[in-house]
Structure formats: C-alpha cells, structure tokens
Structure 1
Amino acid sequence: MYPRIFKLKFPRVEIAHWTDRYSYTGDDQSLEKLGAAARDRGYLRRTEFLALCRWKTARTVKQCSSNSAQQIQDATQLAFSTSDDRAKIGILRLLAGVDWATASVVLHFCDRQPYPILDFRALWSLGSKQPSSYTFDFWWAYTTFIRQLAGSTGHSMRTIDRALWQYSKEHQPPRRRGVGCRG
C-alpha cells in the first residue's frame, strides 16, 4: 500500500470556500439525476454512459462509443452489484475508452458507495503528482483519503471534488497544451 502521500494544500475549513468558487459550467445536475436513475435501475444506459464519458474527457468519446448498449449494461450492472472495490473499477475499465479517471466518474455519480473523481487537479491540490500509470493501490489510497476527508469535514464527495478542482485551477501552474481533462 502507498504511504500517506496526500495532504490537502489548503485548510480544511476552506473547502466550502473553494466549492463556492467552482467555476466549471458542466451539467452537474443532469449527471446527478442520471446517476440516481442508474442506481435505481442497477446499470447505465448507453446514452447515460456516453454523457459521463463526454463530461470527463471528450478525447475518449469515440472509443467509448464503440461499446454496445449490452456491453455497457452488463459491465455497469456487474460493477454496481459487487462489493469488491477492485472488481468495481476493474470491470468498468474493461469497457473501450474507459480507464481510471472515467471509471472513477462512473462510480462517483452512479454507485451507492461514495467514490471520488480521479483527476490531475484533485491530485495536485493534495500535493501528489499524477503518476505515469495508475494502480489499484494508488486509486484505493486516494479513495480512502477522500472518504476520510469527507467524513471528518461533513462534506459530500462532490463538494470535496469541486473544492480540489477549483483550488488547483486557481493555483496550479499551467500544464502542457492538450494534456489533462475535466474532473
């Protein structure tokens, strides 16, 4: 397991402040409704899956579109029904175009358990560099840290995500052009 590699770059009492400054104008309300419907149903429909993929990063939409409605239903139904975290993220990553970040978005909005969105901005706000490749242990350490942060501050997973993203947006030096995606 990874040592304690995450440390919030701003005081915990400022989480609400950074969330209030969150400036991304994506369709969060629609995604929240989509996620609630998927939780009730137990799986994602193809249009819902593609909306989540598009929200995270437009770069993989073509690959994500190559998944059939049945593949998406089967994979998401299996992922949402298991209690094994390694299986959840692994099953979603079997879908074309879905890697760690997109799988984390699917879990964040659609799973009954709280999952954070894996994003370079959030990692930066926690004093961690984006690894050259993700592993389950890294993702699980991140998930555990964010769950503990949410629990100890009384904030929702989405509130924490927005605060981390916005803090990075306002403080992180620019990345190379064409690198990165929304979280």
Structure 2
Amino acid sequence: MMRTTKLGIAGAALFLAIGVATPALATDYKAGDLTVVQPWARATPSGAKVGGAYLAITNNGKTADRLTGASIPEADHVEIHEMKMDGGVMKMRPLPNGIEIKPGQTVKLNPQGNHLMLMGLKAPLKQNEVVKGKLTFEKAGAVDVEFKINSIAAMSADSAPVDGTMKMDAMKMQKMDKTHTGH
C-alpha cells in the first residue's frame, strides 16, 4: 500500500509539473480586447516561395474587430486566405477584407481553413526556428508576435507528424508554390 501511495504522489507531482509548464509553452499576445494564441507556421521545403501560418484569436470585448493584415520580414507580403470545399473541390482565395472576430468568439486559422499565406518567401522556414511578425487589426491596431516554425506537415501548434506525411506534404507545398507564382 505504501508503494502505491508513493507512486501515486510521484505521478501526481509529475502531472502537476507538466500542467504548470504547459502554459509557459503557449505564447499569448494581447491587442486591445483581443488575445492571439500560439502563432505558428509550417517549415517549408528548399526553394518554396509560399508558406502557411496559423493562430487563434479570441475577442474578449463587446465589439467586433477584424484581422486586416499581417507581415513578416521573411516574406514579400502576407495574405489572409480562406480555404473551403466548393462543389467537391478544395478552393483557396484571398480575403481582402480580412476576418471578423465577433465579441466572445474565437477564430482559428489552421491548415484546413482560413490561414495566413506567406508569399514570396526569401528563404525556407526551418523547423524549430522562430520568425517575428506583426498582425494588424481594424480596431485593436498592430501587435508584434513570434511564429514558432513547426514541421512541414504539422497540423497544429503542438503536432509532430511522421516522415511519410512530411514527404507527401512537401510535395503538396511545392505544387502549391507553383500555383501561387505571380499571385
């Protein structure tokens, strides 16, 4: 019985240590009533001229705001994009008016939906690096953020894909790069 208790206490201590450390890993940024959570981007293959960046934005205020733009020094420009199914075909298009964040709403930019399209990359984004950037909101103004660069096939800020997925995603990124040339 004593041994079980010690293991239980040790396990609980480990759980608490992990729980305490987890918030420190998540980077949040404030812009007025908005909270930006875990900005991240995917690593890109050598020679790629486009990449994707993702994050979540929560509006804690009483009025709507709008993400109107973004920038990073590593790209010529950044576009806010929508990706959705249209007649059985996945289509991507820029959202020139940005994305509205209603009061009490959390908007998630992710690889399967709305995202930031990093256009005209000057060099590959490398896994485990951090890229400084700026987000611009209609009402809250500009906020400096840092994008953590995850693996080429990451599906979230914390994911770690397997090699086969990474190779397949690298081919998709190269194909997408050719599609966006001159965009």
Query: If the length of structure 1 is used for normalisation, what is the TM-score?
Result: 0.26
Question: Could you state the TM-score of these two structures normalised by the residue count of structure 2?
Answer: 0.26
Higher helix share: 1
Answer with 1 or 2: which has the greater Rg.
2
Which protein is richer in strand relative to its size?
Answer: 2
Relative contact order (alpha carbons < 8 A, sep ≥ 6): 1 or 2 greater? 1
